[in-house]
Amino acid sequence: MKKSPQTALIHSDYKPPEGFAAFPPAIHHASTVLFSSVSAMRAGLWKTKHGYTYGLHGTPTTFTLEAKLAAIDGGRFCLLAPSGLAAIAMVNLGLLKAGDDVLLPDNVYAPNREMARWLSADFGISARYYDPMIGAGIAELIAPNTKLLWTEAPGSVSMEVPDLPALCKAARARGVLVALDNTWSAGLALNGFEHGVDIVMQALTKYQSGGSDVLMGAVITRERALNDRIALAHMRLGLGVSADDAYLVMRGLSHMQLRFDAHDASARAIAAWLKGRPEIARVLHPAFEDCPGHAHWQRDFRGAGGLFSVVFDARYTEAQTDRFVDALTLFGIGYSWGGAHSLAVPYRMQAMRPGWESTGTLVRLYIGLEETPDLIADLTRAFATL
Ligand SMILES: *Cc1c(COP(=O)(O)O)cnc(C)c1O
């Protein structure tokens, strides 16, 4: 058919030659997905991922990323969300309804706690909190209407490593689903499913991206029926991710293990050095004995990555420890982690965790990819300002 110039701007008969091959996955930008015929359109099944229906429900780019992420965590199904927190919301809204009860660890990622507060204030879902070190004792907290048990291994500020197998065993005995926020280990150092977890959540914003430049989250499962319940929430909430962001995360994945191991080695060297400093009362790093649940880490984990906390000696005021953080030059002050740059954040634990025992300030450190001795020199300089 002959086309007028205006239509020719939009419709072209050109087809690039087939057979193109390259390592990077293609970036498919799409809202509308084209069907070959009306009957193909009517057959569209967005849930099975055997075809494409709409950009929001997946493209070859997002399906490829989902498959890679499911494999890293040892799962079968994966759903992407525009942030780690959106992934948490997808789990909660997919699995909980009015009248249900959810249990969260006391050290849970703070926005997850805030969401639970909202669910209980406005949605008729009760949210209760447990000591992250409770282990098998969780059985006593499980109520007939408890449907979901959140776990985090370790807590991303106070670093307690829970007894995951004991929590999962008690939950399974009562038919309660267990969700693990596995962001700290990126799925590289801990396989949640091996220990009995039903759902793994990842903030891809961290190590998977590796660039401090993308926000994304994932929910990974092994059972199709469970995936489908969460997928329904994914669809109903309209959660989608951009093709460019998905590409950036895939780009980060190929060297994630190398980066993770480098963060791990440097963080352990710095944690060991900090342990010898008179200013520091406790090093909360799962690979060190000071850390609650260290034995669980030894038993269940294969590595540690770059994130840990220290507690300053109680003789230092908050003003002094703030000055310490302000004095750091190689450590940025800011939330999140997983990129190449080191970070430091002081937390007010007494306000965050009623019953928190240490009185000294807790400072969370993220060890980036800078040279370890340079970071130690920076910390040494900052200690001098105390
Ligand atoms: C960062 C983080 C999240 C949330 O990820 P965002 O992409 O920032 O929303 C959830 N859990 C933990 C443990 C995190 O560190």
Asked if residue 31 belongs to a domain, the reply is: no
Question: Does the CB atom of residue 85 touch ligand 1 within 6 A?
Answer: yes
Asked if residue 225 belongs to a domain, the reply is: yes
Q: Is the pLDDT of residue 57 over 70?
A: yes
Which of 253, 281, 311 corresponds to the end of one domain? 253
Burial class for 176, CB neighbours closer than 10 Å (0-12, 13-18, 19+): buried
Q: What's 215's domain CATH number?
A: 3.40.640.10
Which of 196, 229, 253 corresponds to the end of one domain? 253
Residues 149 and 68 in one domain: yes
Ligand 1 centre to CA of 338 (Å) is 11
Asked if residue 207 belongs to a domain, the reply is: yes
Residues 377 and 284 in one domain: yes
Question: Does the CB atom of residue 372 touch ligand 1 within 6 A?
Answer: no
The total number of structural domains in the chain stands at 2
> Any idea which of 7-16, 65-74, 191-200 has the lowest mean pLDDT?
7-16
Contacts of 46 (CB under 8 A, 6+ apart): 53, 54, 57, 58, 235
Residues 223 and 167 in one domain: yes
Ligand 1 centre to CA of 11 (Å) is 43
Which of 194, 224, 253 corresponds to the end of one domain? 253
Counting from 1 in the atom list of ligand 1, the atom nearest the Cα of 336 is: 1
Residues 74 and 164 in one domain: yes
Q: How do residues 325-337 score in pLDDT, each as one tens digit?
A: 999 999 999 999 9
> Any idea which of 47-51, 66-70, 201-205, 273-277 has the lowest mean pLDDT?
47-51
The pLDDT value recorded for residue 46 is 65
The pLDDT value recorded for residue 80 is 98
Ligand 1 centre to CA of 203 (Å) is 5
Asked if residue 2 belongs to a domain, the reply is: no
Asked if residue 123 belongs to a domain, the reply is: yes
HSE-CB of 21 using CA atoms within 13 angstroms? 1
Please report which confidence band the pLDDT of residue 47 belongs to, taking 50, 70 and 90 as the band edges: low
Asked if residue 15 belongs to a domain, the reply is: no
Residues 76 and 208 in one domain: yes
Ligand 1 centre to CA of 3 (Å) is 51
Residues 217 and 71 in one domain: yes
Residues 242 and 279 in one domain: no
Residues 249 and 125 in one domain: yes
Alpha helical stretches, state H, 123-255: 164-173, 224-237, 243-253
Distance between CA atoms of residues 102 and 92, nearest Å: 9
Q: What's 351's domain CATH number?
A: 3.90.1150.10
Burial class for 165, CB neighbours closer than 10 Å (0-12, 13-18, 19+): middle
CB atoms within 10 A of CB 129: 18
The pLDDT value recorded for residue 49 is 78
Residues 154 and 297 in one domain: no
Ligand 1 centre to CA of 375 (Å) is 25
Pocket test for ligand 1, best of 90, 104, 109, 345 (most atoms within 8 A of CB): 109
Of the chain, the percentage scoring pLDDT greater than 90 comes to 92
Report the DSSP pairing between strands 199-203 and 77-81: unpaired
Please report which confidence band the pLDDT of residue 380 belongs to, taking 50, 70 and 90 as the band edges: very high
Range of the domain at 224: 38-253
Residues 202 and 295 in one domain: no
Asked if residue 171 belongs to a domain, the reply is: yes
Q: How do residues 161-217 score in pLDDT, each as one tens digit?
A: 999 999 999 999 999 999 999 999 999 999 999 999 999 999 999 999 999 999 999
The pLDDT value recorded for residue 359 is 85
Helix axes 84-95, 224-237, angle to 10 degrees: 110
Counting from 1 in the atom list of ligand 1, the atom nearest the Cα of 204 is: 7
Helix (H) or strand (E) holding 363: strand 362-366
Residues 60 and 186 in one domain: yes
Helix (H, G, I), strand (E, B) or coil at 235: helix
Q: Is the pLDDT of residue 43 over 90?
A: no
Give the single-character DSSP code of 195.
G
Mean pLDDT of 50-79: 95
Longest dimension (CA), the chain: 84
Residues 246 and 261 in one domain: no
Asked if residue 25 belongs to a domain, the reply is: no
